[in-house]
Structure 1
Amino acid sequence: MDEWFTQAGHGIRFEWGAAGAERLAARVACLVVVDVLSFTTSVTVAAEAGTRVFPYRWRDETAAAFAGQVDAELAAGRRQATAASPWSLSPAALRRAPFTPRLVLPSPNGSAIAATARGATVVAGALRNAAAVGRWLDRQGYGTPARPVAVIASGEHWPDGSLRPALEDLLGAGAVIAALRERTGEGALSVEAAAAAAAFTATPDVRRAVAGSSSGRELTHGGFADDVAVATEQDASSVVPVLTDGAFTAAR
């Protein structure tokens, strides 16, 4: 692929979805996956409790087999959690669930991207930990042309499987980029990254914007307003989950 489409030469880059992550992963030193509603938000909640989170692309019989292989509990869909198996993709439910040291967390968006990313350090970013991620990236020396970072807004899917760009992920990605820009300066950003950061900084009430977005209204009307509330706890978390040996673990 032409280098134009990988934003070559820039230390901080921005792209959408699994296809964008696949194109950039081999060309950057670090990939920050952002799936605000709800994979990466759930990862921050679990990592705060000390849980190692294994991303997995599919929620099917292969997920159960994978959970057995890695000796982990398997998270269910939001509506499938039970008293016997209370872990799910819902960050609010994860916060209430009993501690488990190892958890497989399937999702078709952020988890799928993280599970298939190759060639780069992978970090879980969200509105809850954007400032912490920005600080950590800077300390590790990411965000320069020599050690570029790509921030990936996961997005959602239309019924035909195509990417649906999602406002909450644009804002989450923009928050991470803006936090890192405070340390690197504007010159490190690609035009795409600068536009994502501008979308975040120009939004006067991020919590209200996420709640009023298509995804936020879908969750609220489905009975999961608590998930939106957790996802918009802006910079409430200092945890930076890094994919290590196949699982997201809080960076030291």
Structure 2
Amino acid sequence: MFDQSPYTCRVEWGRRGAREAAERGDIIIIVDVLSFSSTVVSALHYDAVIYPYPPNLDGKEYAKNINAEFILGRSEAAKAGKPTLSPVSFNEKHRNKKFVLTSLNGAFCTWIASKVPALLIGSLLNAASVAEVCNQLRLQKNASITVIPCGELWSDGKEEEDTLRPAIEDYLGAGAILSYLEGEKSPEAEVCIGAFQQAKPKLTQFIWDCGSGRELREKGFEADVGHCSLLNAYQTVPILKDNHFVRYIQ
């Protein structure tokens, strides 16, 4: 049986990893660098209120029921001048406003793992800060920590194939966070840290040129890629409370 249970700090991929970590009762850090995690961190930096919601359910109806704005797709929202899954679309105008944000990866993993001692959002933008908070929570709650790089989904996968597309930006984001975490690391976590440390001198370049980065740039969202590759730009740490993210206040 695949298991990292002897170790305090672990790393597991995607929805399956989120479910198993939740079943263990771990503290969970969701990492979806391009772009759910970076967007949530950026939105809360400006004190917006974000409700994560899985895309297979009716997010528009949910937004209506809680008196929030449903976040549209990047292109559609950009034309309307509204905030989107693009992290750079949030600013001071969105302070205290409620938004429902869906995504195939980060929001879905959040939904799956919502019933845990603590669920936080991590990215390159807040790697050191989210790790610092988790170091405190681990002692308070006597729980292990699992970092979940969400990855992407293949859009044209065949029935017999896996749908998860491992994403290096999420792996590097997870490695950055793990490098600041205290406690014994699993071999999987140590290797993830090693990948980040090796990539750190070229981190911005790697995020810019990786498959997911190129995919966004080709759609005209170069600013998103540059923003999401910034290491420790924010101290904002989103934590899930009552179905929405709030800033963790120490």
1:195 aligned residue: 191
What corresponds to 2:52 in structure 1? 55
Q: Partner amino acid for 1:147?
A: A
Task: Report the CA distance shift for 1:151/1:38 in structure 2 as closer, same or farther (over 3 A).
Answer: same
For residue 71 of structure 1, report the CA deviation from its aligned partner.
1.5
- Cα separation, 2, equivalents of 1:213 and 1:71: 38
Match of 2:234 in 1: 237
Q: How does 1:102-181 map to 2 (within 5 A)?
A: 102-120=98-116, 121-141=118-138, 146-159=142-155, 160=157, 162-180=163-181
Q: Distance in 2 between matches of 1:97 and 1:83?
A: 17
| 1:49-72 residue CA offsets vs partner (Å, 9 max, x unmatched) | 111211111177x11001012211
Trace 1:44-123 onto structure 2 (pairs within 5 A). 44-58=41-55, 62-82=58-78, 84=80, 86-95=82-91, 98-99=94-95, 101-120=97-116, 121-123=118-120
Query: Which residue matches 2:39?
Result: 42
Per-residue CA deviation, residues 81-102 of structure 1 (Å, 9 max, x unaligned), is 0565602101112248644521
Aligned length: 242
State the distance in 1 between where 2:106 and 2:217 align.
20
* Residues 114 and 71 (structure 1), Cα distance of their counterparts in 2 relative to 1, 3 Å cut: same
Is this contact kept in 2: 1:59–1:107, CA < 8 A?
Answer: no
Mapped partners of 2:83, 2:96: distance in 1: 9
Report the AA paired with residue 130 of structure 1: A
Change in Cα spacing, 1:35 to 1:217, as seen in structure 2 (3 Å) is same
**Percent identity over paired residues:** 33
CA contact (8 A) 1:87 1:94 kept: yes
Amino acid corresponding to residue 154 of structure 1 in structure 2: C
| Residue deviations 1:90-136 (CA, integer Å, cap 9, x gap) | 11122486445211110000011102214311100000000001111
Q: Which residue of 1 aligns with 2:22?
A: 25
Which shifted more, 158-167 or 239-248? 158-167
Residue 208 of structure 2 corresponds to residue 207 of structure 1: no
Matched-pair contact (CA < 8 Å) for 1:73–1:100: no
1:18–1:113 Cα contact (<8 Å) kept: yes
> Structure 2: 5+ residue runs without aligned partners?
none
Give 5+ residue unaligned stretches, structure 1. Answer: none
Q: Once superposed, what is the RMSD of the aligned Cα atoms? A: 2.0
CA contact (8 A) 1:54 1:246 kept: yes
The Cα of 1:140 is off from its aligned counterpart by 1.9
SS of aligned partner of 1:147:
coil
- Whole-Å Cα distance in 1 between the matches of residues 231 and 130 of structure 2? 12
SS of residue matched to 1:80: helix
Change beyond 3 A, Cα 1:231–1:82: closer
